[in-house]
């Protein structure tokens, strides 16, 4: 019996978590996967319930879980609060050592016409953003004074090496090309990043390494995204570029992710946030959460068939023209979820 800790969080989080768990239940029955879920307070919901965005019992449950599903956190009500929901997100990533955040980018055939990019530009787009998740400027010293402020960007060679190895390992199983993105024309951390990337590349003679400065990489992601296979980059650049990549399929609402440590439980979450602008209306696109469930089944439980069942059902549903509002349709969260389950 596998234990899955669920962190629904804030905003649209609870709405899409329910959708993901409904799909999980149906697939589990089909493939005979036995699991139990344990819902825990997290983010703004953690602050409200226990005064902290990552309550101690939530952290302990997560540490002893076989996998963790997280929906989304954050709410404007905490914008000026002393403790913010986002701190819980950074804390769980750090506490569980979830250094490797994998954000796949693929185009759904049925959504091609919805992409703001010309069809010839998105043809053949299929890449993975490998984002370093427990280092860099997110976790350096932050000082805010009245008339000055500073944020420190720190990386050790070891931190860079392990995320580069992760990227090369993933590239080995697909297009055998790694694009390492940095700002080595300015930043010391990027100079070290590039040096370590070169060293790691010698361990993988079958994989090609190319370097790209982050500013021009942002441009290429829109003008020639089919050029990428595996993109690897530091925490902040990965945050920005992965949201940019959601323009290719047409919405953040279809973008899942997996975060891995060296050997502890992995965490699966959409790349988007709590979408306060549409929260509570039942209209969020649940596909990002549902595909995160598929990633969990594949990567934490080795259930390739179950993952594919979900991915195929999502494809089929989109092909049938069931589209949420972010995709230009009228389906609500419940209708989209029901259609996916019907296709299962
Ligand atoms: P966001 O990702 O929440 O929303 C950006 C836009 O995308 C909004 O217009 C939203 O409606 C839309 N969107 C996002 N997910 C959608 C979905 N599933 N279906 C349909 N539309 C969707 O980003 P934001 O508005 O900049 O941030 C809102 C809050 O979320 C902030 O507090 C932020 O810190 C937090 N956040 C949390 C996470 C996380 O939990 N991992 C990630 C990003 C942002
Ligand atoms: C994400 C989010 C988080 C990040 C925020 C909410 C702290 O944007 O998961 O991409 O910046 O990592
Ligand atoms: Mn982000």
272 CB less than 6 Å from ligand 1?
A: yes
Report the alpha-carbon distance of residue 333 to residue 194 in Å, rounded: 43
The CA 288 to ligand 2 mean position distance, Å, reads: 15
Please confirm, yes or no, whether 215 is among the known catalytic residues.
Answer: yes
Residue owning the nearest CA to atom 8 of ligand 2: 239
Please confirm, yes or no, whether 206 is among the known catalytic residues.
Answer: no
Q: What is the pLDDT of residue 192?
A: 98
Q: Is 39 helix (H, G, I), strand (E, B) or coil?
A: strand
274 CB less than 6 Å from ligand 1?
A: yes
Q: Are 161 and 196 a contacting pair, CB within 8 Å?
A: yes
Please, which residues bridge with residue 181 across strands?
212, 233
Residue owning the nearest CA to atom 16 of ligand 1: 253
Residue from 273, 276, 289, 292 whose mutation best tests the ligand 2 pocket (most atoms within 8 A of CB): 273
Please confirm, yes or no, whether 229 is among the known catalytic residues.
Answer: no
- Whether 215 has a binding-site annotation, put simply, is yes
- Whether 103 has a binding-site annotation, put simply, is yes
- Whether 206 has a binding-site annotation, put simply, is no
The CA 260 to ligand 1 mean position distance, Å, reads: 22
285 CB less than 6 Å from ligand 1?
A: yes
The CA 230 to ligand 2 mean position distance, Å, reads: 20
Q: Categorise residue 22: left if φ over 0, alpha if ψ from -120 to 50, beta otherwise.
A: alpha
**Which atom number of ligand 2 is nearest to the Cα of residue 74?**
6
Query: Which tokens belong to 154?
Result: 């720190």
- Whether 280 has a binding-site annotation, put simply, is yes
Q: What is the pLDDT of residue 87?
A: 97
- Whether 328 has a binding-site annotation, put simply, is no
Domains of the chain: 1-99+256-344 (3.40.718.10), 116-248 (3.40.718.10)
Residue owning the nearest CA to atom 7 of ligand 2: 86
User: What does DSSP say about strands 126-132 and 230-233: parallel, antiparallel, or unpaired?
Assistant: parallel
Give the contacts of 304 (CB within 8 A, at least 6 positions apart): 298
Q: What is the pLDDT of residue 18?
A: 98
Spot the catalytic one: 10, 229, 239, 326: 239
- Over the chain (344 residues), the average pLDDT of each successive run of 10 is 98 98 98 98 96 97 98 95 95 98 95 88 96 98 97 98 98 98 98 98 98 98 97 98 95 97 97 98 98 98 98 97 96 98 97
Please confirm, yes or no, whether 118 is among the known catalytic residues.
Answer: no
103 CB less than 6 Å from ligand 1?
A: no
Query: Which tokens belong to 155?
Result: 């990386």
For residue 40, count other CB atoms closer than 10 A to its CB: 23
Residue matched to tokens 């953003």: 129
Please confirm, yes or no, whether 63 is among the known catalytic residues.
Answer: no
Cβ < 6 A, ligand 2 pocket: 74, 86, 89, 239, 271, 273
Ligand nearest to C-alpha 243: 3
Residue owning the nearest CA to atom 12 of ligand 2: 239
Q: What is the pLDDT of residue 115?
A: 86
Estimate to the nearest angstrom the gap between the alpha carbon of 137 and the chain centroid. 19
Which residue from 41, 144, 163, 130 is spatially nearest to 92, judged by alpha carbons?
41
Q: What is the pLDDT of residue 163?
A: 98
The CA 252 to ligand 1 mean position distance, Å, reads: 8
Residues lining ion ligand 3 (Cβ < 5 A) are 239
């Amino acid at each position: 019996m596998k234990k899955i800790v669920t962190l629904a969080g804030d905003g649209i989080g609870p709405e899409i978590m329910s959708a993901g768990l409904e799909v999980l239940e149906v697939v589990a029955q089909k493939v005979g996967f036995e699991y139990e879920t344990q819902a825990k307070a997290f983010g703004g919901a953690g602050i409200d319930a226990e005064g902290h965005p990552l309550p101690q019992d939530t952290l302990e449950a997560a540490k002893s879980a076989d996998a963790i599903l997280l929906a989304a956190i954050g709410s404007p009500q905490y914008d000026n609060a002393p403790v913010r929901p986002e701190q819980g997100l950074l804390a769980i990533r750090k506490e569980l050592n979830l250094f490797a955040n994998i954000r796949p980018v693929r185009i759904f055939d049925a959504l091609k016409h919805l992409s703001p990019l010309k069809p010839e530009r998105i043809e053949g787009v299929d890449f993975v953003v490998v984002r370093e998740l427990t280092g860099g400027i997110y976790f350096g010293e932050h000082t805010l004074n009245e008339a000055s402020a500073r944020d420190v960007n720190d990386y050790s060679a070891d931190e860079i090496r392990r995320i580069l190895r992760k990227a090369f390992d993933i590239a080995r199983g697909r297009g055998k090309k790694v694009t390492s993105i940095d700002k080595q024309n300015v930043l010391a951390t990027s100079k070290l990043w590039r040096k370590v990337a070169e060293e790691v590349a010698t361990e993988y003679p079958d994989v090609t390494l190319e370097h790209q400065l982050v500013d021009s990489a942002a441009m290429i992601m829109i003008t020639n995204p089919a050029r990428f296979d595996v993109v690897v980059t530091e925490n902040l650049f990965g945050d920005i570029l992965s949201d940019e990549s959601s323009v290719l399929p047409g919405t953040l609402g279809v973008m899942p992710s997996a975060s891995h440590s060296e050997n502890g439980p992995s965490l699966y979450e959409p790349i988007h946030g709590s979408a306060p602008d549409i929260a509570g209306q039942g209209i969020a696109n649940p596909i990002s959460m549902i595909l995160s469930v598929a990633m969990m089944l594949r990567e934490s439980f080795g259930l390739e068939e179950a993952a594919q069942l979900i991915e195929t059902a999502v494809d089929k549903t989109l092909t049938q023209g069931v589209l949420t509002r972010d995709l230009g349709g009228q389906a609500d969260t419940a209708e989209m979820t029901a259609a996916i389950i019907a296709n299962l």
